[in-house]
């Protein structure tokens, strides 16, 4: 493998125009394929197709819950029992968003 890479290196060292031509074609090729990628926002298309899951997806698509983001707030230290601090943090966080 080392000899093959050294042969390629010495060829392109002598023929810089060929190197830049192949490099340019490669960049254009990768750019074209990258432009063909289509992003999908529907997470339900990742889930396997099943009758029960299809019903669940239908419910999610028809609900307004799909437009909401749910964040669970909890304390790292479970020995501290102060739910008011969590409520206060959640209110401040919700107002900031």
Q: Given pLDDT bands bounded at 50, 70 and 90, which one contains residue 11?
A: very high
Q: Residue 54, Cα to own-chain centre: how many angstroms?
A: 24
What is the percent of the chain with per-residue pLDDT over 70, rounded to a whole number?
71
Whole-number pLDDT of residue 92: 86
Model confidence, pTM: 0.42
Task: Please give the average per-residue pLDDT across 21-40, as a whole number.
Answer: 94
- Beta-carbon contacts of 93 under 8 Å, excluding residues fewer than 6 positions away, are 71, 73
As a dihedral over the C-alpha atoms of residue 25, residue 31, residue 37, residue 39, rounded to 10 degrees, the angle is 170
| Domain positions in the chain | 2-35, 43-96
As a dihedral over the C-alpha atoms of residue 82, residue 83, residue 84, residue 89, rounded to 10 degrees, the angle is 110
Say if residue 72's pLDDT is above 80.
no
Task: Please give the average per-residue pLDDT across 39-68, as a whole number.
Answer: 69
């Amino acid at each position: 493998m080392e000899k093959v890479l050294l042969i390629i290196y010495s060829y392109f060292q002598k023929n810089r125009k060929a190197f830049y031509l192949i490099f340019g074609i490669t960049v254009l090729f990768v750019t074209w394929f990258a432009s063909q990628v289509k992003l999908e926002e529907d997470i339900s298309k990742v889930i396997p197709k099943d009758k029960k899951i299809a019903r669940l997806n239908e419910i999610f698509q028809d609900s307004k819950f799909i437009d909401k983001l749910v964040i669970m707030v909890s304390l790292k230290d479970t020995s501290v029992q102060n739910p008011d601090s969590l409520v206060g943090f959640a209110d401040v966080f919700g107002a900031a968003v």
